[in-house]
Amino acid sequence: MRRAILLLGLFAGSALAHEVHLAQSQQTAAVLRLTYADGKPFAFEAYELYPVGQEIPAQVGRTNGEGQVVFLPGAQGDWRIKAYTADGHGVDQALKVAVSGDAPAPANGPAELPRGLLLAAGLGIVFGLFGLVQLFLRKKSS
């Protein structure tokens, strides 16, 4: 029985390591559209987005199929974008993004229960089942 409890404890720890949470909210985003000189979208190309005065990018990625970069500027209004292709074509340009004063909408989705409460409920179920098994085993043996 001790082995079973130990085994359950080991599985519980690994289950938490694979947990991913998702929260959804509505906010105002800035959308940049990059095109080549002929008007074709600068699609699926690498970009880096920097707040002005910083050397570490706040966001990196690839433009979408329409050549767009979507980001949340937050309180920062001045940005610099570096977008480039593998053969060296691209842009390195400063831009000013209007920051919206709107507060973000509340998260859309179910409220999360605290991890401690979930752990206590799980332990209660395990010990409750163990108690029921012991109760039935004692009645059969007497």
What's the number of CA atoms in the CB half-sphere (13 Å) around residue 86? 2
Structural domain boundaries, residue 96: 27-101
Residue 42 lies in a domain: yes
The DSSP letter of residue 56 is S
Instruction: List, for residues 46-85, the tens digit of each pLDDT value.
Output: 999 999 889 999 999 999 999 999 999 887 689 999 999 9
CA dist list (Å): 74 to 19, 100, 125, 142:
28, 8, 44, 70
Q: Is the dihedral of CA 112, 103, 78, 82 positive or negative?
A: positive
CATH number of the domain that residue 64 is part of: 2.60.40.10
List pLDDT tens digits, range 87-135: 988 999 999 987 665 555 555 555 667 878 888 888 899 889 988 888 8
Q: Is residue 142 a part of any domain in this protein?
A: no
Distances (CA, A) of 35 to 44, 66, 126: 11, 9, 59
Q: How far is CA 22 from CA 25, 105, 108, in A?
A: 10, 15, 10
Q: Residue 41 falls within a domain, yes or no?
A: yes
Q: pLDDT by residue (tens digit) across 34-43?
A: 999 899 999 9
Question: How many domains are there within the chain?
Answer: 1
* Residues 115/121/124/129 CA torsion (nearest 10 deg): -120
Does residue 54 fall inside a structural domain? yes
Q: Is residue 15 part of a domain?
A: no
Q: Is residue 121 part of a domain?
A: no
Residue 126 belongs to some domain of the structure? no
